[in-house]
């Protein structure tokens, strides 16, 4: 005779036992157990015998969701409806989390149904939506959900809320993140429990994230002000990471005297200052070489490089990228090529083999384009492609600018960036199109500029920073920014365009982009 001990067990204990079995069994066995219990539940004549509950179903759904087994999740949800097992906040949160990566509409519909059934959203509901929008860089919706969380649903932000937002900010390279950064930080400060603030916000890590974001979006002065407010709040002296970020901010503001003073304090082991590492040396080297270096700047940079080597620090891709671009800016292509060849030789000799990086190729192509040596730059591009090295957006930018603006060959620029788009899978962004349109307009090639703008419109290119807006007015009005007629300005079409001090911003932007690209690649190795 079959035992009925399972049936006589207290419902709560039976729930826990079934939930534990769902977790311990492999997926197939757990699903078969669920199907068996669902069949028994639907055929049982006794309403007092509860074999499946919201708790046990949620346990299995959570397990399957983590395994991305969405087909079985859907099956269980359907069975819950058939068996009149009610959904609670946990169930709805799981469904929302399942829908969000693929369909925001379905996630919103599920959320609406959750409220219709009188189930109040909890912190997990809000954090799930906040995490989704933060990952997308949709900071307006992050703020909106945070507002709903604290004001509409009267839910205090948790440590998870803070971690989600700060992690997304640390990974964001979108200008929109900076626009909302202060608002988000203020929201967190004013609405979060003091203990959580002390643990998760008043930390060096938080300030490092904020400072890095400000520097990344070209607001180094604000980063410096933030650093001064950070110091009194920290229990311990700033770490090496904080010092390197501060040094980066000083370099970006061209305050090389203060940058050198900070470096010297670190190098001599002054109190509360950590010893410099390879990033410290490279950041200061970049400060001397990034803008318009004098011969003295180059000497300072090379002296720092020698010191770095003497102290046993191996130059990384970021270091050598800085050196390549620095040599190029003072016309020393041999020095640039030597640094490039060293980078490639190190990649070739690496054990185990490493993934080849586009960073050194980008730097060397830029060096040749600075010198208007297009054949040599093309040879480097072909070498990178023959080795299977994938281009980046910076690759597209350097060719668009180098050919269209410096060389004055818009057709050649279009040909190369189109090839990179086709073979490298890099879609042209607003910055690339701005270089092409500017190159055509500045040479009086009005019809070519209009054709390029039509292509921009046709492709639906997003111009978040308004890079193309001024150029559209320029082309339509037939006037350059200084009021001179475009046709007149572009009369000498055989000559490359002269780069004025004002227009040197294109070169500087490109140099900083390449350096940041190299630095980002180095940091990713250690993450």
pLDDT interval class at 191 (50, 70, 90): low
Distance (Å, rounded) from C-alpha 175 to C-alpha 327? 31
Which of these, 82, 80, 41, lies nearest to 59 by C-alpha position? 80
Which of these, 203, 215, 218, lies nearest to 244 by C-alpha position? 215
- State yes or no: pLDDT of 510 exceeds 60: no
Summarize the confidence of residues 398-411 as an average pLDDT: 91
Question: Which pair of tokens denotes residue 252?
Answer: 């970006």
Q: Per residue in 122-147, is it b (16+ CB within 10 Å) or e — as a string? A: bbbbbbbbbbbbbbebbbeebbebbe
Within 8 A by CB and 6+ apart from 516, the residues are 216
Q: Percentage of the chain surpassing pLDDT 70?
A: 74
Does this model's pTM top 0.85? My answer is: no
Lowest average pLDDT, out of 155-164, 213-222, 448-457, goes to 213-222
Question: Which pair of tokens denotes residue 108?
Answer: 């919103």
- State yes or no: pLDDT of 47 exceeds 50: no
- State yes or no: pLDDT of 37 exceeds 50: yes
pLDDT interval class at 174 (50, 70, 90): low
Lowest average pLDDT, out of 2-6, 185-189, 350-354, 365-369, goes to 2-6
Distance (Å, rounded) from C-alpha 314 to C-alpha 33? 58
pLDDT at 245: 87
Long-range CB contacts (within 8 A, 24+) of 229-233: 230/204, 233/202
């Amino acid at each position: 005779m079959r035992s009925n001990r399972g049936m006589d067990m207290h419902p709560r204990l039976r729930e826990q036992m079934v939930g534990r079995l769902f977790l311990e069994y492999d997926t197939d066995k757990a699903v078969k157990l669920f199907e068996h219990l669902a069949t028994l539940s639907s055929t049982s004549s006794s309403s007092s015998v509860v074999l499946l509950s919201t708790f046990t179903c949620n346990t299995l759904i959570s397990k399957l969701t983590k395994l991305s087994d969405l087909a079985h999740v859907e099956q269980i949800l359907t069975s819950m409806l058939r068996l009149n097992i009610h959904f609670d906040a946990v169930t709805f949160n799981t469904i929302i989390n399942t829908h969000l990566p693929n369909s925001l509409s379905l996630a919103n519909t599920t959320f609406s149904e959750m409220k219709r059934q009188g189930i109040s959203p909890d912190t997990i509901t809000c954090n799930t939506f906040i995490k989704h929008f933060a990952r997308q860089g949709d900071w307006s919706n992050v703020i909106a959900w945070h507002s709903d969380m604290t004001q509409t649903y009267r839910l205090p932000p948790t440590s998870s809320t803070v971690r989600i937002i700060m992690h997304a900010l640390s990974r964001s390279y979108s200008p929109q993140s900076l626009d909302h950064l202060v608002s988000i930080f203020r929201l967190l400060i004013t609405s979060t429990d003091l203990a959580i603030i002390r643990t998760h916000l008043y930390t060096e890590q938080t300030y490092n994230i904020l400072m890095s974001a400000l520097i990344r979006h070209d607001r180094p002065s604000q980063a410096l002000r933030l650093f001064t407010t950070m110091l009194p709040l920290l229990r311990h002296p700033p770490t090496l990471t904080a010092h390197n970020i501060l040094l980066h901010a000083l370099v970006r503001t061209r305050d090389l005297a203060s940058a050198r003073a900070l470096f010297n304090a670190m190098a001599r082991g002054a109190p509360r200052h950590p010893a410099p590492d390879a990033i410290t040396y490279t950041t200061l080297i970049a400060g001397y070489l990034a803008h318009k270096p004098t011969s003295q700047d180059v000497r300072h940079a090379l002296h720092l490089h020698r010191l770095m080597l003497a102290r046993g620090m191996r130059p990384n891709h970021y270091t050598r990228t800085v050196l390549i671009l620095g040599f190029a800016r003072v016309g020393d292509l041999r020095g640039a090529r030597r640094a490039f060849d060293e980078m490639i030789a190190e990649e070739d000799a690496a054990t185990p083999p490493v993934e080849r990086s586009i960073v050194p190729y980008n730097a060397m192509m830029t060096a040749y384009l600075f010198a208007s040596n297009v054949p040599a730059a093309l040879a480097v591009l072909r070498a990178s492609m023959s080795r299977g090295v994938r281009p980046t957006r910076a690759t597209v930018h350097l060719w668009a600018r180098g050919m269209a603006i410096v060389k004055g060959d818009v057709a050649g620029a279009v040909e190369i960036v189109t090839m990179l788009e086709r073979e490298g899978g890099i879609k042209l962004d607003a910055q690339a199109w701005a270089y092409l349109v500017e190159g055509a307009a500045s040479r009086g090639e009005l019809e070519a500029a209009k054709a390029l703008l039509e292509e921009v419109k046709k492709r639906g290119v997003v111009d978040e920073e308004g890079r193309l807006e001024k150029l559209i007015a320029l082309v339509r009005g037939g006037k350059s920014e200084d009021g001179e007629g475009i046709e007149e300005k572009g009369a000498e079409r055989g000559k490359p365009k002269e780069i004025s001090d004002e227009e040197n911003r294109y070169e500087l932007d490109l140099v900083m982009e390449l350096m940041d690209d190299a630095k980002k690649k180095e940091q990713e190795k250690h993450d």
